Amino acid sequence: MGWIIGGRLKLVSLKEVMEDEIASQEWFLPGNSCCAGCGLEIALRWAIKAIGPKVAMITPASCLNVVIGLWPKTAPNFPQFNMAFAAGAATGTGVDAAFKAKAYRFPGKGWEEMTSLVFAGDGGTTDIGIQGLSGAAERNSNILYVCYDNEAYMNTGIQRSSSTPHGAITTTTPFGKVRYKKNVPRIMEAHEIPYVATASISHPLDIYDKIKKAKSIEGCKYIQIMAPCAPGWGYPSEDTIEIARLAVKTGSWILYEVENGIKTLSKPSKPLLDPSKRTPIIEYLSKQKRFASISEKTLIEIQDVIDHQWEVISAELRCQTDYLK
């Protein structure tokens, strides 16, 4: 097995995946040009296992445009279309509209079962693509939007995006980013779409499960997958899974899902409601060269922000429990 089964999550077992006719197959084929230890590759591989080949994947400008292979060779063994940077969500909406129009015109030919999938990077989602994404969410367009989050513009050479965390060095923040990471899952929650989730490539079965669930829901679905980037973050390529796992264990990347407005912490993150269960953030930061220059003050700030976001989420969960009573 080339992947590690995530933490304590056992919603779907690996055995179940291997016995599934679709999921046991590989759809994102070997021969792609991903870097060694690429987080995106794992995210896409597991997403497609959950969706299957009855899909049209729209890829706005990102690493994914390149790693699928140079023309005429291509790694996805399913329909895939490259798109302009800001156009992901809108193109996905158009593809879904065409599926609906074709289902009307040619009923019973399987157009009803097709999934319109947008697979975009954090730049294409949180920066240039956010207007189109917000529009699709407001319309509740029937798309599955996956953002693989490697926290910078990696394809163009590691420039900062609004998803880059505080303190991280990129080629456009040579002394570390001043501002904090934009919380796009929360922005998507505010759109009151039927499904929002966060995931991490350290927990592939959690990805599988969330994508599978999202696929079955009609309307706009948003999933943001933490996908570390070895050259961009500055760690040995064999550590990708470990780094992604630390992002979860430190509580800096919280795994949860929001289904029809009800927020649920996912199993790997649930215990971290207890602050003592959180791994100190230094263990995560110190393994990455992008955080090499942060001061002690910044380190404390980052830890404070993490603790604060947990306070917010636990308060939110308490309110929700009271409300549901």
Partner 1 sequence: MIKPEIKDFIQNKETIIIKGNVATAYAAKSARVQVISAYPITPQTTVVEKLSEFADGGQMPGTQYIKVESEHSVMASIIGASMAGTRTFTATSGQGLFYMYEMVHWAAGTRLPIVTAIISRGTAPPWNIWADFSDLISCRDTGWMSSFCATHQEIYDEILMSYKVCEDYDVLLPKFVAYGGFILSHTSKPVIIEDQDKVDAFLPPLPDEKGWPHIWISEKRPIMHGNLIMPSGFYSEFRMKIHVAMLEAKKKIKTVTKEFEKVFGRNYGNGLIQEYKMEGAKVAMLIYGDLALQMEEAVDQVREEGYKVGMVKLRHFRPFPVEDIRDIAKKVKILGVVDRAIAFGSQTGGPISCEVKTALHDTQGTAKVIPMMNGIGGRQVTLEQQKNQLKTLIKFHETGELPKDMIFGTYWDGLLEVD
Q: From the CB of 74, what's the least distance to partner 1, in Å?
A: 4
Q: How far apart are CA 17 and CA 35, in angstroms?
A: 26
DSSP calls for 33-67? -PPTT-HHHHHHHHHHHHH-SSEEEEEESSHHHHH
Question: Out of 106, 171, 277, 283, which residue is the one contacting partner 1 (CB under 8 A)?
Answer: 106
Angle at 250 between CA 244 and CA 255, to 5 degrees: 65
Angle at 99 between CA 119 and CA 111, to 5 degrees: 105
Q: From the CB of 94, what's the least distance to partner 1, in Å?
A: 3
Q: Does 26 bind partner 1 (CB under 8 A)?
A: no
Measured from the CB atom, the residue of 55 and 197 that comes closer to partner 1 is 55
Measured from the CB atom, the residue of 48 and 246 that comes closer to partner 1 is 48
Q: Across the strands, what pairs with 56? A: 116
Hey, CA dihedral for 253, 120, 69, 43, is it positive or negative? positive
Q: From the CB of 120, what's the least distance to partner 1, in Å?
A: 13
Measured from the CB atom, the residue of 54 and 270 that comes closer to partner 1 is 54
Question: Out of 13, 24, 77, 293, which residue is the one contacting partner 1 (CB under 8 A)?
Answer: 77
Give the number of residues in contact with partner 1, rule: CB under 8 A: 52
Q: 244 CB contacts (<8 Å, ≥6 apart)? A: 39, 200, 201, 202, 226, 227, 228
Pairing of strands 144-149, 262-265: unpaired
x/- mask, partner 1, residues 217-236, rule CB under 8 A, reads: --------------------
Measured from the CB atom, the residue of 10 and 109 that comes closer to partner 1 is 109
Q: From the CB of 230, what's the least distance to partner 1, in Å?
A: 21
Q: Does 97 bind partner 1 (CB under 8 A)?
A: yes
Q: From the CB of 241, what's the least distance to partner 1, in Å?
A: 28
Measured from the CB atom, the residue of 154 and 244 that comes closer to partner 1 is 154
Q: How far apart are CA 161 and CA 94, in angstroms?
A: 27
Pairing of strands 221-226, 256-259: unpaired
Q: What six digits make up the tokens of 45? A: 């591989």
Where in 35-74 is the site for partner 1 (CB under 8 A)?
52-56, 58, 65-66, 68-72, 74
* Site residues for partner 1 per CB under 8 A: 52-56, 58, 65-66, 68-72, 74, 76-84, 86-87, 89-102, 104-106, 109, 114, 116, 131-132, 134-135, 138-139, 141
